[in-house]
Amino acid sequence: MNSQQEFVLRAVEEHDIRFIRLWFTDILGYLKSVMMSPSELEGAFEEGVGFDGSSIEGFSRISESDTIALPDPSTFQVLPFDAEEPSIRAARMFCDITMPDGQPSWSDPRQVLRRQVQVAAEEGFTCMISPEIEFYLLKQGGSPQGLEPTDSGGYFDQASHNVVPRFRREAMNALETMGIATEFSHHETAPGQQEIDLRHADALSMADNIMTFRYLIKQVAFSSGVQATFMPKPFTDYAGSAMHSHMSLFEGDTNAFHDPDDEFSLSATAKQFVAGILRHAREISAVTNQWPNSYKRIVFGNEAPTSATWGVSNRSALVRVPTYRLAKEESRRVEVRSLDSACNPYLAYSVLLGAGLKGIREGYELSEPAEDDISKLTRRERRALDYEDLPRSLDQALRDLERSELMPDILGEHVFEFLLRNKWEEWHNYQRQVTPWELKTTLNY
Protein backbone atom coordinates (compact mmCIF):
# COMPACT_ATOMS: atom_id res chain seq x y z
CA MET A 1 0.00 0.00 0.00
CA ASN A 2 1.42 3.39 -0.98
CA SER A 3 1.50 6.60 1.09
CA GLN A 4 -1.52 8.15 -0.69
CA GLN A 5 -3.66 5.11 0.07
CA GLU A 6 -2.53 5.15 3.71
CA PHE A 7 -3.42 8.87 3.91
CA VAL A 8 -6.94 8.14 2.64
CA LEU A 9 -7.46 5.36 5.19
CA ARG A 10 -6.35 7.68 8.03
CA ALA A 11 -8.53 10.53 6.74
CA VAL A 12 -11.58 8.25 6.58
CA GLU A 13 -11.07 7.32 10.23
CA GLU A 14 -10.26 10.85 11.43
CA HIS A 15 -13.27 12.43 9.70
CA ASP A 16 -15.62 9.60 10.69
CA ILE A 17 -16.53 8.95 7.06
CA ARG A 18 -19.46 6.55 6.97
CA PHE A 19 -19.42 5.77 3.26
CA ILE A 20 -17.36 6.52 0.17
CA ARG A 21 -18.70 7.30 -3.28
CA LEU A 22 -16.54 5.95 -6.10
CA TRP A 23 -17.08 8.08 -9.20
CA PHE A 24 -16.40 7.58 -12.91
CA THR A 25 -18.07 8.69 -16.14
CA ASP A 26 -19.45 6.90 -19.16
CA ILE A 27 -18.47 7.94 -22.69
CA LEU A 28 -21.19 10.61 -22.85
CA GLY A 29 -20.00 12.20 -19.60
CA TYR A 30 -22.75 11.02 -17.25
CA LEU A 31 -21.46 10.65 -13.70
CA LYS A 32 -21.64 7.10 -12.32
CA SER A 33 -21.30 6.22 -8.65
CA VAL A 34 -20.65 3.14 -6.54
CA MET A 35 -21.15 3.52 -2.79
CA MET A 36 -19.02 1.48 -0.39
CA SER A 37 -18.36 1.27 3.34
CA PRO A 38 -14.93 2.18 4.77
CA SER A 39 -14.29 -1.46 5.76
CA GLU A 40 -14.05 -2.35 2.04
CA LEU A 41 -11.69 0.47 1.10
CA GLU A 42 -8.38 -1.29 1.65
CA GLY A 43 -9.51 -4.19 -0.53
CA ALA A 44 -10.72 -1.74 -3.20
CA PHE A 45 -7.25 -0.17 -3.34
CA GLU A 46 -5.67 -3.57 -3.85
CA GLU A 47 -8.16 -5.25 -6.18
CA GLY A 48 -10.62 -2.59 -7.30
CA VAL A 49 -14.41 -2.93 -7.38
CA GLY A 50 -15.87 -5.23 -10.02
CA PHE A 51 -19.00 -4.26 -11.98
CA ASP A 52 -20.89 -5.15 -15.13
CA GLY A 53 -19.31 -2.97 -17.82
CA SER A 54 -21.90 -3.97 -20.41
CA SER A 55 -24.52 -2.04 -18.42
CA ILE A 56 -22.57 1.24 -18.70
CA GLU A 57 -23.07 3.27 -21.89
CA GLY A 58 -20.33 2.32 -24.33
CA PHE A 59 -18.08 0.44 -21.91
CA SER A 60 -17.99 -3.19 -23.11
CA ARG A 61 -19.87 -5.94 -24.86
CA ILE A 62 -21.81 -8.44 -22.77
CA SER A 63 -19.22 -11.12 -23.57
CA GLU A 64 -16.53 -8.86 -22.02
CA SER A 65 -18.62 -7.43 -19.21
CA ASP A 66 -16.27 -7.96 -16.23
CA THR A 67 -14.83 -4.51 -15.52
CA ILE A 68 -12.99 -3.03 -12.52
CA ALA A 69 -13.19 0.45 -10.97
CA LEU A 70 -9.85 1.22 -9.30
CA PRO A 71 -10.03 4.17 -6.84
CA ASP A 72 -7.48 6.95 -7.41
CA PRO A 73 -6.42 7.99 -3.87
CA SER A 74 -5.07 11.34 -5.12
CA THR A 75 -8.68 12.41 -5.79
CA PHE A 76 -10.01 11.72 -2.27
CA GLN A 77 -12.12 14.57 -0.90
CA VAL A 78 -14.69 14.79 1.87
CA LEU A 79 -18.07 15.86 0.48
CA PRO A 80 -19.40 19.05 2.12
CA PHE A 81 -22.88 17.47 2.19
CA ASP A 82 -24.73 14.54 0.72
CA ALA A 83 -28.29 15.13 -0.43
CA GLU A 84 -29.25 11.50 0.03
CA GLU A 85 -27.83 11.23 3.58
CA PRO A 86 -27.43 14.80 4.93
CA SER A 87 -26.67 13.69 8.50
CA ILE A 88 -23.86 11.28 7.54
CA ARG A 89 -20.35 12.27 6.42
CA ALA A 90 -19.34 11.00 3.01
CA ALA A 91 -16.32 11.28 0.74
CA ARG A 92 -15.64 10.68 -2.94
CA MET A 93 -12.83 9.36 -5.12
CA PHE A 94 -12.58 9.15 -8.88
CA CYS A 95 -11.79 5.76 -10.36
CA ASP A 96 -9.73 4.51 -13.25
CA ILE A 97 -11.51 1.76 -15.16
CA THR A 98 -9.46 -1.35 -15.91
CA MET A 99 -9.96 -4.82 -17.31
CA PRO A 100 -9.58 -7.91 -15.08
CA ASP A 101 -5.96 -8.32 -16.24
CA GLY A 102 -5.14 -4.82 -14.97
CA GLN A 103 -4.91 -3.17 -18.39
CA PRO A 104 -6.56 0.27 -18.69
CA SER A 105 -9.99 0.15 -20.29
CA TRP A 106 -10.13 1.71 -23.75
CA SER A 107 -13.68 2.80 -22.89
CA ASP A 108 -12.74 4.99 -19.92
CA PRO A 109 -12.85 8.73 -20.79
CA ARG A 110 -10.43 9.44 -17.93
CA GLN A 111 -7.91 7.07 -19.52
CA VAL A 112 -8.40 8.78 -22.90
CA LEU A 113 -7.39 12.12 -21.38
CA ARG A 114 -4.54 10.53 -19.41
CA ARG A 115 -3.10 9.19 -22.68
CA GLN A 116 -3.08 12.69 -24.21
CA VAL A 117 -1.56 14.15 -21.05
CA GLN A 118 1.19 11.51 -21.37
CA VAL A 119 1.74 12.39 -25.03
CA ALA A 120 2.12 16.05 -24.02
CA ALA A 121 4.55 15.07 -21.24
CA GLU A 122 6.68 13.06 -23.69
CA GLU A 123 6.91 16.21 -25.82
CA GLY A 124 7.92 18.27 -22.78
CA PHE A 125 4.59 19.95 -21.97
CA THR A 126 2.10 20.14 -19.12
CA CYS A 127 -1.34 21.40 -20.16
CA MET A 128 -3.04 23.83 -17.77
CA ILE A 129 -6.74 24.69 -18.12
CA SER A 130 -9.06 27.22 -16.51
CA PRO A 131 -12.77 27.04 -17.51
CA GLU A 132 -15.56 29.60 -17.20
CA ILE A 133 -18.65 27.46 -16.62
CA GLU A 134 -22.09 28.88 -17.43
CA PHE A 135 -25.42 27.38 -16.39
CA TYR A 136 -29.02 28.35 -15.69
CA LEU A 137 -30.92 28.34 -12.42
CA LEU A 138 -34.58 27.49 -12.94
CA LYS A 139 -37.75 27.51 -10.86
CA GLN A 140 -41.27 26.21 -11.39
CA GLY A 141 -43.28 28.57 -13.55
CA GLY A 142 -45.91 28.98 -16.20
CA SER A 143 -43.77 28.21 -19.26
CA PRO A 144 -44.67 25.24 -21.50
CA GLN A 145 -41.86 23.14 -20.01
CA GLY A 146 -42.91 24.12 -16.48
CA LEU A 147 -39.60 25.85 -15.69
CA GLU A 148 -38.47 29.44 -16.00
CA PRO A 149 -35.38 31.47 -14.95
CA THR A 150 -35.09 32.25 -11.25
CA ASP A 151 -34.56 35.97 -11.92
CA SER A 152 -34.65 38.69 -14.57
CA GLY A 153 -31.08 39.86 -14.08
CA GLY A 154 -28.43 40.65 -16.70
CA TYR A 155 -24.65 40.70 -16.96
CA PHE A 156 -22.94 41.37 -13.60
CA ASP A 157 -26.26 42.37 -12.01
CA GLN A 158 -26.34 42.26 -8.23
CA ALA A 159 -29.61 40.52 -7.43
CA SER A 160 -30.64 41.17 -3.83
CA HIS A 161 -34.17 39.83 -3.52
CA ASN A 162 -33.92 36.25 -4.72
CA VAL A 163 -32.04 33.02 -4.23
CA VAL A 164 -29.16 33.77 -6.62
CA PRO A 165 -26.60 35.65 -4.46
CA ARG A 166 -26.95 33.09 -1.66
CA PHE A 167 -26.72 30.23 -4.13
CA ARG A 168 -23.44 31.43 -5.67
CA ARG A 169 -21.94 32.03 -2.23
CA GLU A 170 -22.90 28.55 -1.03
CA ALA A 171 -21.75 26.94 -4.28
CA MET A 172 -18.32 28.58 -4.15
CA ASN A 173 -17.96 27.61 -0.51
CA ALA A 174 -18.83 23.97 -1.33
CA LEU A 175 -16.29 23.93 -4.18
CA GLU A 176 -13.52 25.43 -2.06
CA THR A 177 -14.29 22.92 0.71
CA MET A 178 -13.51 20.14 -1.78
CA GLY A 179 -10.24 21.74 -2.84
CA ILE A 180 -11.59 23.19 -6.11
CA ALA A 181 -10.23 26.72 -6.29
CA THR A 182 -12.58 29.32 -7.77
CA GLU A 183 -11.74 32.75 -9.16
CA PHE A 184 -14.98 34.62 -9.88
CA SER A 185 -18.72 34.18 -9.91
CA HIS A 186 -21.29 36.51 -11.41
CA HIS A 187 -24.64 36.76 -13.13
CA GLU A 188 -24.37 36.19 -16.87
CA THR A 189 -26.17 38.00 -19.70
CA ALA A 190 -29.49 36.13 -19.60
CA PRO A 191 -32.15 35.90 -16.88
CA GLY A 192 -31.26 33.07 -14.49
CA GLN A 193 -27.88 32.45 -16.12
CA GLN A 194 -24.84 32.17 -13.85
CA GLU A 195 -21.09 31.80 -14.35
CA ILE A 196 -18.43 30.45 -11.99
CA ASP A 197 -14.78 30.43 -13.06
CA LEU A 198 -12.36 27.79 -11.79
CA ARG A 199 -8.68 28.52 -11.15
CA HIS A 200 -6.26 26.77 -13.51
CA ALA A 201 -5.16 23.19 -12.92
CA ASP A 202 -3.61 20.44 -15.01
CA ALA A 203 -5.93 18.94 -17.63
CA LEU A 204 -6.81 15.69 -15.82
CA SER A 205 -7.41 17.37 -12.47
CA MET A 206 -9.56 20.01 -14.17
CA ALA A 207 -11.75 17.40 -15.86
CA ASP A 208 -12.27 15.77 -12.43
CA ASN A 209 -13.05 19.21 -11.00
CA ILE A 210 -15.67 19.90 -13.68
CA MET A 211 -17.48 16.64 -12.95
CA THR A 212 -17.44 17.50 -9.24
CA PHE A 213 -18.59 21.05 -10.07
CA ARG A 214 -21.68 19.80 -11.89
CA TYR A 215 -22.58 17.47 -9.03
CA LEU A 216 -22.17 20.17 -6.36
CA ILE A 217 -23.98 22.87 -8.34
CA LYS A 218 -27.01 20.60 -8.76
CA GLN A 219 -26.96 19.67 -5.05
CA VAL A 220 -26.68 23.30 -3.88
CA ALA A 221 -29.49 24.29 -6.26
CA PHE A 222 -31.68 21.45 -4.97
CA SER A 223 -31.11 22.53 -1.37
CA SER A 224 -32.07 26.09 -2.39
CA GLY A 225 -35.37 24.95 -3.90
CA VAL A 226 -34.33 25.55 -7.51
CA GLN A 227 -32.88 23.49 -10.37
CA ALA A 228 -29.54 23.92 -12.16
CA THR A 229 -29.15 22.92 -15.80
CA PHE A 230 -26.06 22.69 -18.00
CA MET A 231 -28.15 22.24 -21.14
CA PRO A 232 -26.38 24.21 -23.92
CA LYS A 233 -29.43 26.30 -24.90
CA PRO A 234 -32.58 25.81 -22.82
CA PHE A 235 -34.32 29.00 -24.00
CA THR A 236 -34.99 30.21 -27.53
CA ASP A 237 -34.60 33.90 -26.74
CA TYR A 238 -31.64 33.75 -24.34
CA ALA A 239 -27.95 33.01 -24.80
CA GLY A 240 -26.63 29.48 -24.51
CA SER A 241 -24.33 28.19 -21.78
CA ALA A 242 -20.67 27.86 -22.74
CA MET A 243 -17.61 26.48 -21.01
CA HIS A 244 -14.95 28.84 -22.34
CA SER A 245 -11.66 27.16 -21.52
CA HIS A 246 -8.35 28.99 -21.10
CA MET A 247 -5.46 26.72 -22.11
CA SER A 248 -1.69 26.99 -21.90
CA LEU A 249 1.29 24.66 -22.10
CA PHE A 250 4.14 24.78 -19.61
CA GLU A 251 7.67 23.45 -19.98
CA GLY A 252 8.54 22.92 -16.32
CA ASP A 253 7.88 26.30 -14.70
CA THR A 254 8.09 28.19 -18.01
CA ASN A 255 4.96 29.15 -19.92
CA ALA A 256 5.59 27.87 -23.47
CA PHE A 257 2.87 30.20 -24.79
CA HIS A 258 4.67 33.40 -23.75
CA ASP A 259 6.99 35.44 -25.96
CA PRO A 260 7.77 38.96 -24.70
CA ASP A 261 8.95 40.04 -28.17
CA ASP A 262 5.67 39.20 -29.92
CA GLU A 263 3.02 41.88 -30.45
CA PHE A 264 0.54 39.85 -28.39
CA SER A 265 3.17 38.10 -26.23
CA LEU A 266 2.23 34.88 -28.04
CA SER A 267 5.00 32.37 -28.80
CA ALA A 268 5.42 30.31 -31.97
CA THR A 269 4.41 27.27 -29.91
CA ALA A 270 1.15 28.95 -28.92
CA LYS A 271 0.40 29.96 -32.51
CA GLN A 272 0.99 26.42 -33.77
CA PHE A 273 -1.23 25.07 -30.96
CA VAL A 274 -4.05 27.42 -31.98
CA ALA A 275 -3.53 26.55 -35.65
CA GLY A 276 -3.95 22.87 -34.75
CA ILE A 277 -7.27 23.52 -33.05
CA LEU A 278 -8.52 25.63 -35.96
CA ARG A 279 -7.49 23.15 -38.65
CA HIS A 280 -9.26 20.28 -36.89
CA ALA A 281 -12.14 22.36 -35.50
CA ARG A 282 -14.87 20.74 -37.59
CA GLU A 283 -13.90 17.16 -36.72
CA ILE A 284 -13.62 18.14 -33.04
CA SER A 285 -17.13 19.64 -32.87
CA ALA A 286 -19.06 16.42 -32.27
CA VAL A 287 -17.00 15.95 -29.09
CA THR A 288 -16.92 19.51 -27.74
CA ASN A 289 -20.59 20.01 -28.73
CA GLN A 290 -22.14 16.58 -28.49
CA TRP A 291 -25.91 17.23 -28.38
CA PRO A 292 -28.42 18.29 -31.06
CA ASN A 293 -29.22 21.22 -28.78
CA SER A 294 -25.54 22.30 -28.78
CA TYR A 295 -25.86 23.69 -32.30
CA LYS A 296 -28.74 26.00 -31.39
CA ARG A 297 -26.14 27.87 -29.36
CA ILE A 298 -23.43 27.88 -32.06
CA VAL A 299 -25.44 28.59 -35.22
CA PHE A 300 -26.78 31.96 -34.11
CA GLY A 301 -23.65 33.39 -32.51
CA ASN A 302 -24.38 35.64 -29.49
CA GLU A 303 -20.70 35.38 -28.44
CA ALA A 304 -20.64 31.74 -29.58
CA PRO A 305 -18.23 30.96 -32.43
CA THR A 306 -19.68 30.21 -35.87
CA SER A 307 -16.38 29.81 -37.78
CA ALA A 308 -12.94 28.30 -37.20
CA THR A 309 -11.19 31.61 -36.57
CA TRP A 310 -9.00 33.22 -33.94
CA GLY A 311 -8.84 36.80 -32.77
CA VAL A 312 -7.29 39.15 -30.27
CA SER A 313 -9.94 40.01 -27.67
CA ASN A 314 -12.56 38.95 -30.24
CA ARG A 315 -15.36 37.10 -28.46
CA SER A 316 -16.95 35.98 -31.72
CA ALA A 317 -13.88 33.92 -32.65
CA LEU A 318 -13.44 30.24 -31.84
CA VAL A 319 -10.09 30.95 -30.17
CA ARG A 320 -9.62 34.28 -28.41
CA VAL A 321 -6.29 35.67 -27.25
CA PRO A 322 -6.95 37.68 -24.08
CA THR A 323 -5.01 40.94 -23.77
CA TYR A 324 -5.15 41.21 -19.99
CA ARG A 325 -1.66 41.39 -18.44
CA LEU A 326 0.26 40.84 -21.69
CA ALA A 327 3.63 41.17 -19.98
CA LYS A 328 2.85 38.61 -17.27
CA GLU A 329 4.41 35.32 -18.40
CA GLU A 330 2.29 32.93 -16.33
CA SER A 331 -0.92 34.58 -17.60
CA ARG A 332 -0.28 34.02 -21.34
CA ARG A 333 -2.97 31.68 -22.57
CA VAL A 334 -5.58 31.16 -25.29
CA GLU A 335 -9.32 30.85 -24.73
CA VAL A 336 -11.24 28.18 -26.66
CA ARG A 337 -14.88 29.33 -26.88
CA SER A 338 -16.60 26.49 -28.72
CA LEU A 339 -17.14 24.13 -25.76
CA ASP A 340 -20.54 24.09 -24.14
CA SER A 341 -21.27 23.25 -20.52
CA ALA A 342 -22.71 19.83 -21.38
CA CYS A 343 -19.63 18.29 -22.98
CA ASN A 344 -17.72 15.36 -21.53
CA PRO A 345 -14.67 17.28 -20.21
CA TYR A 346 -12.33 14.27 -20.43
CA LEU A 347 -13.01 13.75 -24.13
CA ALA A 348 -13.33 17.46 -24.99
CA TYR A 349 -9.97 18.34 -23.47
CA SER A 350 -8.42 15.23 -25.06
CA VAL A 351 -9.33 16.32 -28.60
CA LEU A 352 -8.35 19.97 -28.04
CA LEU A 353 -5.00 19.00 -26.54
CA GLY A 354 -4.40 16.37 -29.23
CA ALA A 355 -5.20 18.78 -32.08
CA GLY A 356 -3.05 21.52 -30.55
CA LEU A 357 -0.09 19.16 -30.09
CA LYS A 358 -0.42 18.04 -33.72
CA GLY A 359 -0.22 21.69 -34.76
CA ILE A 360 3.03 22.06 -32.79
CA ARG A 361 4.45 18.74 -33.98
CA GLU A 362 3.83 19.50 -37.66
CA GLY A 363 4.49 23.24 -37.53
CA TYR A 364 1.03 24.45 -38.61
CA GLU A 365 0.95 28.12 -39.64
CA LEU A 366 -1.59 30.44 -38.05
CA SER A 367 -3.72 32.64 -40.29
CA GLU A 368 -4.29 36.35 -39.71
CA PRO A 369 -6.57 37.17 -36.74
CA ALA A 370 -10.24 37.94 -37.35
CA GLU A 371 -11.26 41.47 -36.48
CA ASP A 372 -14.96 41.34 -37.42
CA ASP A 373 -17.97 40.29 -35.39
CA ILE A 374 -18.04 36.99 -37.25
CA SER A 375 -21.57 36.02 -36.25
CA LYS A 376 -22.90 39.14 -38.02
CA LEU A 377 -21.20 38.34 -41.33
CA THR A 378 -23.16 36.64 -44.10
CA ARG A 379 -22.04 33.23 -45.32
CA ARG A 380 -20.76 34.88 -48.52
CA GLU A 381 -18.73 37.40 -46.49
CA ARG A 382 -17.23 34.64 -44.34
CA ARG A 383 -16.23 32.65 -47.43
CA ALA A 384 -14.68 35.77 -49.00
CA LEU A 385 -12.54 36.18 -45.89
CA ASP A 386 -11.59 32.48 -46.07
CA TYR A 387 -13.31 31.68 -42.76
CA GLU A 388 -14.34 28.03 -42.49
CA ASP A 389 -17.75 27.62 -40.89
CA LEU A 390 -18.18 25.25 -37.97
CA PRO A 391 -20.80 22.49 -38.33
CA ARG A 392 -24.32 23.88 -38.08
CA SER A 393 -25.88 20.68 -36.74
CA LEU A 394 -24.88 17.46 -35.01
CA ASP A 395 -25.52 15.79 -38.36
CA GLN A 396 -22.76 17.84 -40.05
CA ALA A 397 -20.44 17.43 -37.07
CA LEU A 398 -20.77 13.64 -37.15
CA ARG A 399 -19.99 13.56 -40.86
CA ASP A 400 -16.77 15.49 -40.16
CA LEU A 401 -15.94 13.20 -37.25
CA GLU A 402 -16.45 10.13 -39.45
CA ARG A 403 -13.95 11.45 -42.01
CA SER A 404 -11.32 12.30 -39.40
CA GLU A 405 -8.03 10.43 -39.23
CA LEU A 406 -6.89 12.26 -36.10
CA MET A 407 -9.89 11.64 -33.83
CA PRO A 408 -9.65 7.80 -33.77
CA ASP A 409 -6.00 8.20 -32.83
CA ILE A 410 -6.83 10.53 -29.94
CA LEU A 411 -10.00 8.87 -28.66
CA GLY A 412 -9.08 5.27 -29.41
CA GLU A 413 -11.05 3.14 -31.85
CA HIS A 414 -13.57 1.90 -29.26
CA VAL A 415 -14.61 5.35 -28.00
CA PHE A 416 -14.56 6.74 -31.54
CA GLU A 417 -16.83 4.01 -32.91
CA PHE A 418 -19.23 4.02 -29.96
CA LEU A 419 -19.53 7.81 -30.00
CA LEU A 420 -20.43 7.75 -33.68
CA ARG A 421 -23.02 4.98 -33.28
CA ASN A 422 -24.61 6.56 -30.22
CA LYS A 423 -24.74 10.06 -31.65
CA TRP A 424 -26.08 8.95 -35.03
CA GLU A 425 -28.89 7.15 -33.23
CA GLU A 426 -29.56 10.27 -31.14
CA TRP A 427 -29.61 12.46 -34.25
CA HIS A 428 -32.03 10.15 -36.03
CA ASN A 429 -34.33 10.13 -32.98
CA TYR A 430 -34.16 13.93 -32.94
CA GLN A 431 -35.02 14.13 -36.64
CA ARG A 432 -38.09 11.93 -36.15
CA GLN A 433 -39.70 14.38 -33.72
CA VAL A 434 -42.60 16.51 -34.89
CA THR A 435 -42.11 19.78 -33.03
CA PRO A 436 -44.68 22.27 -31.73
CA TRP A 437 -43.27 24.83 -34.18
CA GLU A 438 -43.99 22.51 -37.13
CA LEU A 439 -47.54 21.90 -35.92
CA LYS A 440 -48.11 25.60 -35.36
CA THR A 441 -46.88 26.64 -38.81
CA THR A 442 -47.98 23.72 -41.00
CA LEU A 443 -50.90 21.79 -39.46
CA ASN A 444 -53.54 23.98 -41.09
CA TYR A 445 -51.91 24.10 -44.51
- Structural domains in the chain, CATH included, are 11-103 (3.10.20.70), 115-439 (3.30.590.10)
Position 314 confidence tier, pLDDT thresholds 50, 70, 90: confident
- Answer with the residue of higher pLDDT: 161 or 331: 331
Average pLDDT, integer, range 103-132 = 95
With a cut of 90, say whether residue 157 has pLDDT above it. Answer: no
pLDDT given at position 68: 87
The C-alpha atoms of residue 203 and residue 357 are separated, in whole angstroms, by 14
- Answer with the residue of higher pLDDT: 402 or 330: 402
Q: Which of 153-157, 316-320, 389-393 shows the lowest mean pLDDT across its residues? A: 153-157
**What is the reported pTM?**
0.93
Task: Provide the Cα torsion 221, 222, 227, 232; round to 10°.
Answer: 60
With a cut of 80, say whether residue 60 has pLDDT above it. Answer: no
pLDDT given at position 64: 43
The C-alpha atoms of residue 85 and residue 301 are separated, in whole angstroms, by 43
Average pLDDT, integer, range 340-367 = 97
With a cut of 80, say whether residue 149 has pLDDT above it. Answer: yes
Task: Please report, rounded to a whole number, the percentage of residues in the chain having pLDDT higher than 70.
Answer: 91
- Answer with the residue of higher pLDDT: 138 or 165: 138
With a cut of 70, say whether residue 59 has pLDDT above it. Answer: no
Helix axis angle for 394-403 and 281-288, nearest 10°, is 120
pLDDT given at position 61: 46
Average pLDDT, integer, range 178-203 = 91
Q: Is-contact 391 397, C-beta < 8 A?
A: yes
Q: What is the DSSP string of 378-433?
A: -HHHHHHTTPPBPPSSHHHHHHHHHH-SHHHHHH-HHHHHHHHHHHHHHHHHHHH-
Amino acid identity, position 106: W
Position 152 confidence tier, pLDDT thresholds 50, 70, 90: confident
Position 186 confidence tier, pLDDT thresholds 50, 70, 90: confident
With a cut of 90, say whether residue 159 has pLDDT above it. Answer: no
- Answer with the residue of higher pLDDT: 285 or 64: 285
Q: What is the mean pLDDT of the chain?
A: 89
